[in-house]
Structure 1
């Protein structure tokens, strides 16, 4: 997800919030609020309608939400909530402070409609995810969503992993944190090596989330860096 994608996600979320809190909004008002063109607002409204948001258009007056419509907690699955948190971490690296403020306010409103158990998990994921400043590198992985689930649900994970020496081993790991550098990296306790290790997600050949749970590691990500780096 690039900067334009995250900016649009922020704006779409904020438009829904605005429509929920005000009876009627014109395209001009929305364009001025988000500092975009009226044509962009038209595209955003169409995108929201295509996503199933019941927007009522009153000719010559503006837009409103269908009476009684609210963003319900069931709208977001755990994986979708995790995706929003990952996008939030990307946004926090943006250097435009007003953009950060607007997105943070929007995502807090999204979090407020999540079920309590999902709120706890998304907060944990937010604390255990870190991005560097280089957001333009291509990161290849098909396991990020599964590992987010394993991390927030404390589920033991079995992986087939190929290291830099091209040696493949089977590991049982306890996912702890996710780091985005030039590649996605997983910080996990490896039961084979009996210590915390870094695993590049693009080197994970196979992954299986097991039913066994592990005891949560009682430290923050910063404490991990202080103690193990």
Structure 2
């Protein structure tokens, strides 16, 4: 997902919360809060209306929700919740402190409606994902969603992996954490090597999430770095 898309997604989420929690809110107030033009706010409101949110415009006053309308609880699949956690990591790199605060509060509210099991998994993933922004660098991976799922459910993954010398091996791994710099990397315990290894996601040629589970590794990402690096 491009950063600009994440930026807009986070703003739409926060605008929706503002409209839901306030009796009336003006475009100029939203413009100041999110540091965008009023024209951008008009487009965002239109996008929410097109999505089916009954937003009423009171001439000279602002926006409010239709009387008696309550935004229903949102149900997320596990992979959708994981995608939100990744989006949060991207937004945290934004240099505007107020924007980061607003988005973090929005994500906290979204997390609050997740079931307990999903919430626990989301917190595991948040603690095991490290994102470093690299401008103008294309990241190429089709496996991130499956790996996130395996990581939070402690399921073994079978991969076909090509190393830097173009040598292919088949491995069964225990996913532990995800890192992003110039590429996405997976830290996992490799059962072939009986040790933790780094795997570049764009070098994974085939992947299968197995039904067999493994015993979770009882350490944080920082504890991993302290122990092995």
TM-score (norm 2): 0.92
Check conservation: 2:34, 2:99, Cα contact below 8 A. no
Residue 55 of structure 1: aligned partner: 54
| CA distance 1:118–1:136, change in 2 (3 Å) | farther
Once the two structures are TM-superposed, the CA of residue 139 in structure 1 deviates from its matched residue by 0.6
* Alignment partners' CA distance in 2, 1:25 and 1:98: 18
* Alignment partners' CA distance in 1, 2:55 and 2:92: 33
Higher mean C-alpha deviation, range 159-168 or range 101-110: 101-110
| CA distance 1:135–1:218, change in 2 (3 Å) | farther
Q: Does 1:69 align with 2:77?
A: no
Q: Does 1:200 align with 2:200?
A: yes
Residue 31 of structure 1: aligned partner: 31
Residue 179 of structure 1: aligned partner: 179
Structure 2 gaps of 5+ residues are none
Q: Could you say what secondary structure the match of 2:82 adopts?
A: helix
* Alignment partners' CA distance in 1, 2:111 and 2:30: 23
Higher mean C-alpha deviation, range 31-40 or range 210-219: 31-40
Residue 89 of structure 2: aligned partner: 89
* Alignment partners' CA distance in 2, 1:139 and 1:120: 28
Q: Could you say what secondary structure the match of 1:107 adopts?
A: helix
| CA distance 1:204–1:136, change in 2 (3 Å) | same
| CA distance 1:51–1:168, change in 2 (3 Å) | farther
Residue 112 of structure 1: aligned partner: 112
* Alignment partners' CA distance in 1, 2:72 and 2:63: 17
RMSD of aligned alpha carbons: 1.6
Q: Could you say what secondary structure the match of 1:137 adopts?
A: coil
* Alignment partners' CA distance in 2, 1:218 and 1:40: 45
What number of residue pairs does the alignment pair up?
A: 227
